Amino acid sequence: MDKHEVLKQLVDMSHYLGDPSRTFAILGEGNTSARIDADTMFVKASGTCLATMGETDFLEVSISRATEILDDMNAGDADVAAALRASLCDPSEKRMPSVETMMHALLYRHYPEYGFIGHTHPVSTNALMCSIHAQEAAMGRLCPDHIVVMGHKSVFVPYVDPGLVLAREVRERVARYVEEEGVLPKAMLLENHGLFSLGATAKAVMNITEMAEKMSKILLGAYSAGGPRFMSGADIRRIDTRPDEKYRQNTLGQEK
Ligand SMILES: [Zn+2]
């Protein structure tokens, strides 16, 4: 895909995720990005609004430069701001990339399969992420479609300071997930914060976000009906490995 096509798809995906009828994000909430090539990505400029952003509201950032600071254990807020500025491909750019740029960049850097990332604060998903059931809500699976679109398990991230500390936490938790599960996660659920949908395509990111929010609504209903009955590990593995379910993943535009 050429760079302009990537940008066009990113703008469309952002409008979809920011559409007020979906209640995934309001005002300046959330952020989106797309990989351009091995070392560059587009990311939402800080302070812009998903619902209304145009092509010029995305900034080009160097993936390697945006992730260097993760290993500087003495870095403070001023260093983060300087690193974000230094990661901009256009040195004359005056705007700042999203505060979560480091997290987007590290996911692209370590996992070449990811092409698009969408971060939102969906209402029902956050009802669960702000509850005492956050961790089990993030990890459990409720029905076959849940697994087909979101994978057999999500990454759960306890609340930590947004920005640098969160990016480090995500780096460690995603690496552990990949090592233990042998596949890449499709969704990360952040306690007291929101959802990250990770996909090869823009369509996958939109599907994952829709499914996460639908399953959260069902789960809220299940908690109010006496408690959820999550699917068993064996039933989850069966759906995850069935050839016809793999075919459904492909036809949903989840795979490249
Ligand atoms: Zn957020």
Number of structural domains the chain divides into: 1
Å from CA of 119 to ligand 1 middle: 6
**216 domain residue, yes or no:** yes
What is the per-residue pLDDT for 232?
92
- CA atoms of 46 and 167, how far apart (whole Å): 17
**81 domain residue, yes or no:** yes
Å from CA of 122 to ligand 1 middle: 10
Predicted TM-score (pTM) of this structure: 0.94
Tell me which residue of 127, 155, 151 sits closest to 141, measured CA to CA.
Answer: 151
Å from CA of 166 to ligand 1 middle: 11
Buried b / exposed e along 10-39 (16+ C-beta atoms within 10 A): bbebbebbbeeebebbeeebbbbbbbbeeb
What is the per-residue pLDDT for 247?
65
- CA atoms of 133 and 128, how far apart (whole Å): 7
E strands present in the chain:
31-35, 40-44, 58-62, 116-120, 155-157, 187-190, 194-199
Å from CA of 112 to ligand 1 middle: 23
Å from CA of 237 to ligand 1 middle: 31
Å from CA of 94 to ligand 1 middle: 23
**160 domain residue, yes or no:** yes
**7 domain residue, yes or no:** yes
Å from CA of 167 to ligand 1 middle: 12
- Residues spanned by the domain of 113: 3-251
- CA atoms of 36 and 22, how far apart (whole Å): 27
Å from CA of 70 to ligand 1 middle: 19
What is the per-residue pLDDT for 256?
64
CATH of the domain at 225: 3.40.225.10
**256 domain residue, yes or no:** no
In the block, residue with structure tokens 């947004």? 162
Query: Do the Cβ atoms of 110 and 185 come closer than 8 Å?
Result: no
**200 domain residue, yes or no:** yes
Å from CA of 247 to ligand 1 middle: 33
What is the per-residue pLDDT for 249?
67
Å from CA of 195 to ligand 1 middle: 8
102-126 pLDDT, tens per residue? 999 999 999 999 999 999 999 999 9
Å from CA of 182 to ligand 1 middle: 27
Å from CA of 234 to ligand 1 middle: 33
Å from CA of 32 to ligand 1 middle: 10
What is the per-residue pLDDT for 226?
95
**226 domain residue, yes or no:** yes
pLDDT < 70 regions, the chain: 245-250, 253-256
Å from CA of 222 to ligand 1 middle: 26
